[in-house]
Amino acid sequence: MDCLFCKIIAGEIPSAKVYEDEYVYAFRDIHPQAPVHVLVIPKTHIDSADCLTEETAHLAAEVFAALPKVARACGLVNGYRVITNVGEDGCQSVRHMHFHLLGGKKLPEQMS
Ligand code: DGP
């Protein structure tokens, strides 16, 4: 499958890894929008959150189980924001479900 994030997980494309376990990989976003901007992704490919079903919801659960560990690894102790973009209107540019973890400063209240 020609997926950028699958290639990053496989090590075919370099990335700045901050956390990895059996199910999840987390690495620094190439275009950071906050002092800490990490992408947290399931190792199993799924296009987006819109593709989740009862059978695949565990992929999102595994990401969320890892989030506190990723946040601690990044030194985030005062909160952070988690965002997943979905599809065209959500401005999703990489079709492998990913969660942006943003922090390291007081983030704006406005989200859109
Ligand atoms: P989204 O717009 O939600 O699909 O976010 C995709 C993010 O992926 C975007 O913030 C930039 C990041 N990104 C794209 N290509 C690469 C890459 O090759 N390496 C890394 N580390 N991040 C990338």
pLDDT, tens only, 18-29: 999 999 999 999
- Does residue 89 lie within any of the structural domains? yes
Which CATH number do you get for residue 51?
Answer: 3.30.428.10
87 CB-near residues (< 8 Å, 6+ apart): 48, 50
Q: Which of 7, 93, 112 to mutate to test the pocket of ligand 1 (most atoms within 8 A of CB)?
A: 93
pLDDT, tens only, 73-93: 999 999 999 999 999 999 999
> Position 95: which residue type?
R
* Pocket flag, ligand 1, residue 96 (CB < 6 Å): no
Q: What is the pLDDT of residue 1?
A: 76
Separation of alpha carbons 103 and 74, rounded Å: 9
56 CB-near residues (< 8 Å, 6+ apart): 46
Place of tokens 């997926």: 3
Looking at ligand 1, which residue's alpha carbon is closest to its atom 17?
30
Residue 106 is given by DSSP the state P
- Does residue 22 lie within any of the structural domains? yes
Separation of alpha carbons 67 and 99, rounded Å: 9
Share of the chain above pLDDT 70, in %: 100
pLDDT, tens only, 37-78: 999 999 999 999 999 999 999 999 999 999 999 999 999 999
Separation of alpha carbons 28 and 87, rounded Å: 22
Whether the full predicted model's pTM is greater than 0.95, yes or no, is yes
pLDDT grade, residue 30 (50/70/90)? very high
Q: What is the pLDDT of residue 29?
A: 98
Alpha helices (H) along 1-112: 4-9, 57-73
Residue span of the structural domain in which 19 resides: 4-103
* Pocket flag, ligand 1, residue 47 (CB < 6 Å): no
Q: What is the rounded end-to-end Cα distance, in angstroms, of the chain?
A: 32
- Does residue 68 lie within any of the structural domains? yes
Is 98 an active-site residue?
A: yes
**Total structural domains within the chain:** 1
- Does residue 111 lie within any of the structural domains? no
